Structure 1
Amino acid sequence: MTFYYKTYSWANNSSQGISEETKKTWEFFADKKNWRIVQLPNGFYQTECQSLNADGTPSGEWTDITRRETIESAEAAIDGSIEHYNKKLEFAKGPKVVKTFE
């Protein structure tokens, strides 16, 4: 599965922002219940995520994402992906003030 997303900058006062469809997709991938780990015949573990239909609902089909040697490293890969999408959702809220001056 290939994901495409476009980044935006608020520095140029862009009103375009990130689409609701993209935000919903990121929210879907940031939810751990949409992920699973399966063991392959060769003993490796494969992380999989549910696919989405065009209307944004789960399709019931699973797409392989990564393969790892241990179940712990497979779960760590899922946790890393969830963290990645949570950061994107935080970014979508707009710029975060990190310091102000008086």
Structure 2
Amino acid sequence: MDALIYTVLLLILLILNASAIYMYKNDKLDLWLSGIIIGILGPVFAFLIGAIFVKYEHSQGATAEGAQIAAAFIGLIIVANGIIYFIVGITLKLIGFLKYKRA
């Protein structure tokens, strides 16, 4: 089950990070806004994955406590990733604003 948790987390983070960087490089979405979106999607993904994990654990005859903790872990990591994008995006905007102001 641990390998499944880390695989799911890795796939979600790869997709979210790749799309955030792609949209930022093509001037479609700022990083700070991507951070907010990722932060909002974190609990959504956690509930969806948690429901799947709990259903799987119940089918195996377990109490699914580990699945619930894993879903919370995945949600917290995704939200933390969104917060990092938000902070980096705001910092880049401030640096760009200060450079523009000096010129």
TM-score, scaled relative to structure 1: 0.43
TM-score, scaled relative to structure 2: 0.43
Answer 1 or 2: higher relative contact order, Cα 8 Å, separation at least 6. 2
